[in-house]
């Protein structure tokens, strides 16, 4: 039985590949693939140095593949092995590009016309920093243009990629209030998560973070400090299905919603949807199969049946096939 995973760190793919090979050579080869929890613990705890984006992404890809194998052996989707569905479909949002406010507004309208009911946008052109009042004003103008283009019934997530300075963060959040964002994502870098409780207290807009956090121990601190409303762990960076399922349960205990990060390919997205399916606190799922850095190739080409990810009315149905619910075209991949 073949299982598939998507272990990658953007810009460090070869490094993660080496880490996967080390995990296979040093421990996994010859082991029973069904003992997923034991394998996860061995991969994580087996070395003196733990955590970080490289190791956790390598573990994530292996973990996805192990769950895919297990589901295929039992002829059941992974969500059934995790306790069963809490929903039949998952709401998705679409990333939009553009630098000038008008361009972003036009891109937003185009995606809404395609059926999406939620969007996410970069808050600044070319990922510029927000470290002065003028930069705050420019960011607000972009969000205002999108809100004007799509009206009040479409949700808009605003991603700052940690580029807001701590002094400007509260000012920015207050300035965005009239435009009712679905969430403000990563207003500050994860290194400055200690600033999130103050930012959250200054606004009614939900605060989201988590794409650059790699384990339940990273998330533990923001739960305990009441710092966020939405977490965004990445199934290809944060230890895979096993770990993110635990993180989702932790979040539920703190009344925090789940919106997994996923700017990657269909294996990563399929893994996300398996966890979304059985997590009561799932809010929405990122999908970026046509994101700007995938434009030179169609990442759906390596699926035997790409229709598994057809979006209708802003939702995707939960695949009911065994394992991750997708079939890889191995001839195309190889």
Q: How far apart, in Å, are the Cα atoms of 273 and each of 107, 186, 204, 206?
A: 26, 22, 28, 22
Query: In this structure, are residues 60 and 238 in contact, taking their beta carbons and an 8 Å threshold?
Result: yes
User: SS3 of 207, please?
Assistant: strand
Among the options 39, 161, 237, 292, which is catalytic?
Answer: 161
To the query of whether residue 292 is one of the catalytic residues in this protein, the response is: no
The partner residues of 285 in beta bridges, in order of sequence, read: 92
Query: In this structure, are residues 187 and 181 in contact, taking their beta carbons and an 8 Å threshold?
Result: no
Question: Quick one: how far is CA 124 from the chain centroid?
Answer: 20
Q: How far apart, in Å, are the Cα atoms of 309 and each of 99, 259, 267, 283?
A: 28, 17, 11, 18
Question: Quick one: how far is CA 108 from the chain centroid?
Answer: 20
Among the options 39, 192, 261, 292, which is catalytic?
Answer: 261
> How many angstroms separate the most distant Cα atoms in the chain?
59
Query: In this structure, are residues 279 and 250 in contact, taking their beta carbons and an 8 Å threshold?
Result: no
To the query of whether residue 39 is one of the catalytic residues in this protein, the response is: no
Instruction: Please identify every residue annotated as catalytic.
Output: 161, 261
């Amino acid at each position: 039985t073949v299982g598939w995973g998507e272990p990658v760190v953007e810009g460090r793919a070869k490094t993660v590949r080496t880490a996967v090979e080390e995990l296979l050579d040093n421990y996994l080869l010859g082991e029973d693939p069904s003992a997923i929890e034991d394998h996860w613990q061995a991969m994580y705890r087996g070395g003196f140095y733990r955590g970080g984006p490289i190791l956790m992404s390598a573990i994530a890809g292996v973990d996805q593949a192990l769950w895919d194998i297990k589901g295929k052996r039992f002829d059941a989707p992974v969500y059934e092995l995790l306790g069963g569905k809490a929903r039949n479909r998952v709401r998705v949002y679409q990333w939009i590009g553009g630098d000038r406010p008008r361009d972003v507004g036009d891109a937003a309208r185009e995606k809404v016309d395609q059926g999406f009911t939620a969007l996410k946008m970069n808050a600044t052109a070319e990922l510029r920093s927000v470290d002065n009042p003028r930069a705050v004003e420019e960011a607000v103008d972009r969000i205002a243009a999108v809100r004007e283009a799509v009206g009040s019934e479409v949700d808009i997530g605003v991603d700052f990629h940690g580029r807001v300075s701590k002094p400007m963060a509260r000012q920015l959040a207050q300035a965005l209030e009239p435009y009712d964002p679905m969430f403000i994502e990563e207003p500050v870098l994860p290194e400055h998560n200690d600033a999130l409780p103050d930012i959250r207290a200054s606004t009614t807009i939900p605060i989201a973070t988590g794409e650059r956090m790699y384990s339940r121990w990273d998330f533990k601190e923001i739960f305990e400090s009441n710092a966020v409303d939405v977490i965004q762990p990445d199934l290809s960076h944060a230890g895979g299905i096993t770990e993110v399922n635990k993180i989702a349960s932790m979040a539920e205990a703190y009344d925090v919603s789940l919106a997994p990060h996923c700017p990657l390919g269909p294996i990563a997205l399929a893994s996300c949807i398996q966890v979304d399916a059985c997590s009561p606190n799932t809010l929405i799922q990122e999908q970026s199969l046509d994101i700007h850095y995938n434009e030179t190739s169609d990442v759906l080409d390596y699926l035997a049946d790409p229709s598994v990810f057809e979006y209708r009315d802003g939702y995707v149905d939960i695949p009911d096939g065994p394992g991750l619910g997708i079939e890889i075209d191995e001839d195309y991949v190889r």
